[in-house]
Amino acid sequence: MLRVDFNVEIVNQTIKLYPDLWIELQKRFPKIEHWLKREEKPTLKQLGKLAHFLHIPLGYLLLDEVPTLHKIPIPHFRTKEEAPFQPSLELIDTIKSVRKKQEWARDLLKEFGHVKLSFVGSLDINADIKEAAAKIRETLNLADNWTAELHGRSTALNHLVKKAEGVGIFVIVNSIVDFNTHRPLNVKEFRGFVLSDEYAPFIFINGKDAKSAQLFTLAHELVHVWIGKSASFDLREMMPAKDEIEQFCNSVAAEFLVPEHILRKQYAQYGVDYQALSRYFKVSELVIARRLLDLELIQRNEFLDYYKEYISREIQSRRVLGGDFYETAKYRISIRFARLIHAALLEGRILYRDAYRVTGLYGKTFDEFFRRQVYSYV
């Protein structure tokens, strides 16, 4: 049986970055210590399984030099720079998965004759905040007080997702890596990310987050699309990183959700009454608190105290979905992306094999998903 040499430094580097892997690594590969000490060699099949477990290409383990591993291809903005950022394997793999979808989407859209989206990169970070928010609302066909016409934060979030997808943006909401329930995402690491593109911009929202925070994240991400900048971010305490791009995106997102001129009128009537203002705007109390802070109607310490209390309350009362698989899948894939793949299948522009792979759905599950969800999503 053929046994092969491999670059043990790549494995050592990965273990150093992710020490929690070591225990599971020993369980799955009983001879791993012998391999790393070069006392024994694995078979090519064993090496392939090792590469898969470590989430790296098999070819990398056969290289003489150690390549740059376990990085993400976009900037990651953190509210607090406490230590050098090392992305989790879950974040790395999620970005890889979305990038693969984006590559397919871009190519298919071009084949179908779609043109570049004119709004991508149309804003400059030196633009007026109110004008920028108004421009985004205009493109999405939303009124200044669009949230006031809706009932509840989930409705507002779903409405904004549909509006974004309606103009050509792909929106994914997921709390795990693809469909792997054993690989949850960490909301403390990132709330979302954006992969900007003139044909196929993709937005990802961490579904582990509270609904109220997801709405603000989506608004923040939309601004990233309008300025044409890819990034991931944690938005701790709903505060941006100390970066001019993040500061701009957060300010526009706040104005987009709760316009200043309307809020000031309601503030004159209600004062600092989070619940009353929340009922009026149909957004979460948290978004209201964030907006009051922006307008210096409350102090930062007041906001932080309220933020901690609110998030704790919402997480405790959050309903755990018993899980309609197909209902959840439409957000994990993006309805716009699913429809594009389905259209490509009908025209013979993509093989079923590739459609299964890129959506993560196979066989009857794939067919049932389209029957239940894709064309009933209006």
- The residue written with tokens 């994240």 in the block is 217
DSSP code of residue 67: P
Q: Answer positive or negative: Cα dihedral of 327, 332, 336, 342.
A: negative
Task: Give the Cα separation of 323 and 326 in Å (integer).
Answer: 8
Is the distance from CB of 159 to CB of 377 less than 8 angstroms?
Answer: no
The amino acid occupying position 85 is F
- Which residues pair with residue 176 across a beta bridge? 184
Q: Which of 261, 315, 324 is nearest to 284 (CA)?
A: 315
Say what the pLDDT of residue 278 is. Answer: 85
Say what the pLDDT of residue 345 is. Answer: 94
Helix (H, G, I), strand (E, B) or coil at 3: strand
Task: Give the Cα separation of 347 and 364 in Å (integer).
Answer: 20
Residues of the chain with pLDDT under 50: 320-321, 378
Say what the pLDDT of residue 212 is. Answer: 75
Q: Which of 149, 359, 14 is nearest to 351 (CA)?
A: 359
DSSP code of residue 43: B
Q: Answer positive or negative: Cα dihedral of 220, 262, 162, 199.
A: negative
The sheet with strand 170-174 has its strands ordered as: 76-77, 231-233, 192-195, 202-206, 170-174
Say what the pLDDT of residue 240 is. Answer: 79
Q: For the chain, what's the residue count?
A: 378
Task: Give the Cα separation of 228 and 366 in Å (integer).
Answer: 33
Pairing status of strand 176-177 against strand 202-206: unpaired
pLDDT tens per residue, range 272-318: 999 889 888 877 788 889 899 989 999 999 988 888 888 777 656 55
Is the distance from CB of 132 to CB of 123 less than 8 angstroms?
Answer: yes
Say what the pLDDT of residue 281 is. Answer: 83
Q: Which of 318, 314, 304, 250 is nearest to 278 (CA)?
A: 314
